[in-house]
Structure 1
């Protein structure tokens, strides 16, 4: 349970870092980042697998690049749902989702693989 809480806080901090690095993404507070990270995690766990399955033919035709579009749309959706978290458009959602994925992957690797 403590590991899940730590990942949630790290993902919220990663979202704040994305907002700092890229002007198309805005987060008003750490609390908004916590809520956005929680909703983003839930959406990625529940909705993303369904969308990936439904868009499998397009994903195969684009050699997997359509996954970036799905990630951007989910990132944009969460920004529309959560107050205090904003994305200025689709391109900002695409860049923001890529940055968020890279930052969370690096921080998870650095922080949580050494503890096993």
Structure 2
């Protein structure tokens, strides 16, 4: 269970870094922002809402990568082999886009303005997740 929580935290951190770097990738928490504005709360509760929003998106992204990505990767194996593995970047961008689509039905919204943003975001998320996972000992190779 602790390993799963660490994966969610690493995914949330990677999404935060990608949203920080890319201007076309935005994460908004409508419920937390509305509650903070209505209650007259300070920036502390707004920060907690944003952190919880990123953790929630990390959970969605992790579930998409655990359930959908293996199926899509298997079905697109011939194309991935034909492109010498570069199609895996397109699959990662599609998983980020699917996460954005699913988050549209939740109070936490991930918005991507183009496929290029999704592609660059997927590269950034993969690099940050790999480095952070390696530093925390989550990757056992």
Indicate yes or no: 2:113 matched with 1:88.
yes
How far, CA to CA, are the matches of 1:58 and 1:7 in structure 2? 29
The offset of 1:41, in angstroms, is 0.8
How far, CA to CA, are the matches of 1:3 and 1:61 in structure 2? 35
- Point out 4+ residue stretches in structure 1 off by more than 6 angstroms: none
1:1-116 alignment runs, 5 A limit: 1-28=1-28, 29-82=50-103, 83-112=108-137
- Unaligned 5+ runs, structure 1: none
Please, what is the CA RMSD of the aligned residues? 1.4
Could you state the TM-score of these two structures normalised by the residue count of structure 1?
0.88
> Relative contact order (C-alpha < 8 Å, sep 6+): which is higher?
2
How far, CA to CA, are the matches of 2:95 and 2:3 in structure 1? 25
Mean Cα deviation higher: 84-93 or 4-13: 4-13
Contact kept? 1:25, 1:88, Cα under 8 Å: yes
Contact kept? 1:16, 1:30, Cα under 8 Å: no
- Unaligned 5+ runs, structure 2: 29-49
The offset of 1:6, in angstroms, is 2.6
Larger Rg: 2
The offset of 1:52, in angstroms, is 1.0
Q: Secondary structure at the match of 2:84?
A: coil
Deviation per CA, 1:76-102: give whole Å up to 9, x if none.
111121132111111100000110010
Q: Secondary structure at the match of 2:79?
A: helix
Q: How many residues were matched structurally? A: 113
Deviation per CA, 1:9-35: give whole Å up to 9, x if none.
232122111111111211222222112
Q: Secondary structure at the match of 2:85?
A: coil
Could you state the TM-score of these two structures normalised by the residue count of structure 2?
0.74
